[in-house]
Amino acid sequence: MTKPFRIALAGLGTVGVGVVKILQEHHDLIAARAGRPIEIVAVNAKTKGRDRGVDLSSYEWVDDCQDMAGRNDIDAVVEMIGGSDGVAADLVRGALENSLHVVTANKALVAHHGYALAQVAEKNNVGLAYEAAVAGGVPIIKSLREGFSANEIKSVYGILNGTCNYILTEMRETGRDFDDVLKEAQEHGYAEADPTFDVEGIDAGHKLCLLSAIAFGVPPDFDSLSITGISHLTSTDIDFARELGYRIKLLGVAKQMGNGVMRSVEPCLVPKDSQLGVVEGVFNAVLVDGDYVDKGLAVGRGAGEGPTASAVVADIIDLARGTIVPTFGRPVSQLGVPSWADLGETVSRYYLRINVLDKPGVIAKISGILRGLDISIESFIQHGRDPDQPVCVVLTLHDVLCGAMEKAYKAIEELDIVLEKPCLMRIEAL
């Protein structure tokens, strides 16, 4: 087993460079662990000449990364380009078709095309490894696919996007509003110039698709996922959540309900002292509940050069050791048909904030709508204001059919005393 494991690396952004750094700095340590040296044969990026802070002079420079897929002098292609389609997808597909292992951090690619790619990988007996795609510093793909493999998974809850968690933490700690904190996050490099994928929950959605595919043995199925981001949240909601003993987290949730697996990415209220409630700033965390293992929590850095590159290199070491695990935790032929729950028929507790004019009869109107739909109020907050002034009414609601809650929401939204779009969020007790 002393034959080197040879890789070609496409993409030299932050993570790609991080992979080069680790493989250079820890060359001997990794060779000892893998039982063989890991050698970079060729690299590629859009721009050749730029100084990336690492010495690339001993690697062959490849102008067109697609040429890597056809090589027969390498064992694996490491795809660090990104994007669900185009160059990255072509490279990964081509490499797998040529019986090369693939390691990627590309959550969008695997969420959209993972099923088809898994078929190619399996047919050619190579691995498609993507630990870095979900919560870089947390080996959660491995834990779910291997560590908890003896369990029927009851639920997976994840704080899967560090940018959102950083923004929500800052909003709570400083009392500032979303736009203000986002701008600062962009200045610090914690958020992209175009933050849509992060703040609208799409990135977390990709990740949840991968986790739920493994947990429930089905293809990723991104298109059917319900996603709500955090850009509509206000410091008012953050403050009321705190008053009620909760924190707001953008949660990816996949859990067995009576009528299938309920999946969503949305901001939820979680108890402030709970295992996910205390996860702050750029950290990611995943809480898995299995029928035998019970609840297991993993917390770590979700992004950044070091943690993500660490996950990529761990995948490379696995492949160099000869470990190939089915892409979604079971052979493609064993993947089932998703049985996603109709969200309207699932049950949840809720937080509802309504901005109203403080007139007589306001509470009667709102509570009348709720009573008519059999929705039971758990708690009620309204801080005193002058009559005829705008005021926030905040309710928490006992377990209710989500479909009924949606109806109540629409009816309340249409009341003439309601001044703006109310804010409705699920409460997850965890």
- Which residue's CB is nearer to a second copy, number 139 or number 201? 139
Q: Does 258 bind a second copy (CB under 8 A)?
A: no
Q: In this chain, which of 245, 293, 371, 374 binds a second copy, going by CB under 8 A? A: 293
Instruction: Tell me the DSSP string of 307-350.
Output: HHHHHHHHHHHHHHHT----TTSS-GGG-----B--GGGSEEEE
Q: In this chain, which of 7, 10, 12, 30 binds a second copy, going by CB under 8 A? A: 30
Of 112-120, 306-314, 367-375, 391-399, the segment contacting a second copy by CB under 8 A is 306-314
Q: 3-state SS string over 223-237? A: CCCEECCCCCCCHHH
Closest contact distance (angstroms) between CB of 50 and a second copy is 23
Pick the closest to residue 107 from 199, 9, 210, 200 (CA basis): 210
Closest contact distance (angstroms) between CB of 66 and a second copy is 27
How many other CB atoms are there within 10 angstroms of residue 148's CB atom?
A: 22
Q: Does 313 bind a second copy (CB under 8 A)?
A: yes
Closest contact distance (angstroms) between CB of 298 and a second copy is 5
Q: In this chain, which of 6, 26, 52, 407 binds a second copy, going by CB under 8 A? A: 26
Residues in the chain: 430
Q: Does 275 bind a second copy (CB under 8 A)?
A: yes
Q: In this chain, which of 121, 317, 375, 405 binds a second copy, going by CB under 8 A? A: 317
- Which residue's CB is nearer to a second copy, number 278 or number 419? 278
| Angle (CA) 123 220 295, round 5° | 110
How many other CB atoms are there within 10 angstroms of residue 4's CB atom?
A: 14
Residue 125 to residue 327: CA distance in whole angstroms: 11
Q: Does 311 bind a second copy (CB under 8 A)?
A: yes
Q: Does 272 bind a second copy (CB under 8 A)?
A: no
Q: Does 301 bind a second copy (CB under 8 A)?
A: yes
CB 135 within 8 A of CB 284: yes
Q: Pull the structure tokens for residue 22.
A: 């680790």
Residue 311 to residue 320: CA distance in whole angstroms: 14
* 3 state DSSP class of 369: helix
- Which residue's CB is nearer to a second copy, number 334 or number 376? 334
End-to-end CA distance of the chain: 46
Q: Does 29 bind a second copy (CB under 8 A)?
A: yes
Closest contact distance (angstroms) between CB of 308 and a second copy is 9
Q: Does 396 bind a second copy (CB under 8 A)?
A: no
Q: In this chain, which of 14, 119, 151, 259 binds a second copy, going by CB under 8 A? A: 151
Q: In this chain, which of 24, 27, 35, 379 binds a second copy, going by CB under 8 A? A: 35
Burial (CB < 10 A; 0-12, 13-18, 19+), residue 306, is middle
Give, in order, the Cα–Cα distances in Å from 332 to each of 122, 253, 329. 8, 24, 9
How many other CB atoms are there within 10 angstroms of residue 74's CB atom?
A: 22
Q: Does 154 bind a second copy (CB under 8 A)?
A: no
Closest contact distance (angstroms) between CB of 170 and a second copy is 19
Q: Does 173 bind a second copy (CB under 8 A)?
A: no
Q: Pull the structure tokens for residue 329.
A: 């935790």
Q: Does 294 bind a second copy (CB under 8 A)?
A: yes
Q: Does 318 bind a second copy (CB under 8 A)?
A: yes
Residue 59 to residue 63: CA distance in whole angstroms: 13
Binders of a second copy among residues 320 to 339 (CB under 8 A) are: 321-326, 329-331, 334
| Binding-site string for a second copy from residue 216 to residue 235, where x marks contact by CB under 8 A and - marks none | -x------------------
Q: Does 143 bind a second copy (CB under 8 A)?
A: yes
The β-bridge partners of 349 are 427
Q: In this chain, which of 116, 244, 257, 278 binds a second copy, going by CB under 8 A? A: 278
Per the annotation, the verdict on 154 as an active-site residue is no
Check 207, 295, 407, 410 and give the catalytic one. Answer: 207
Give, in order, the Cα–Cα distances in Å from 240 to each of 16, 233, 424. 42, 12, 12
| Angle (CA) 244 274 268, round 5° | 60
Of 85-93, 135-143, 360-368, 391-399, the segment contacting a second copy by CB under 8 A is 135-143
Pick the closest to residue 57 from 24, 13, 16 (CA basis): 24
Residue 147 to residue 201: CA distance in whole angstroms: 27
Q: Does 307 bind a second copy (CB under 8 A)?
A: yes
Q: Does 298 bind a second copy (CB under 8 A)?
A: yes
The upper half-sphere exposure of residue 126, i.e. CA atoms within 13 Å in the direction of its Cβ, equals: 22
Residue 236 to residue 3: CA distance in whole angstroms: 61
Residues labelled as active-site residues: 207
* Contacts to a second copy by CB under 8 A: 1, 18, 22, 26, 29-30, 32-35, 131, 136-139, 142-143, 146-152, 217, 275, 278, 290-301, 306-307, 309-314, 317-318, 321-326, 329-331, 334
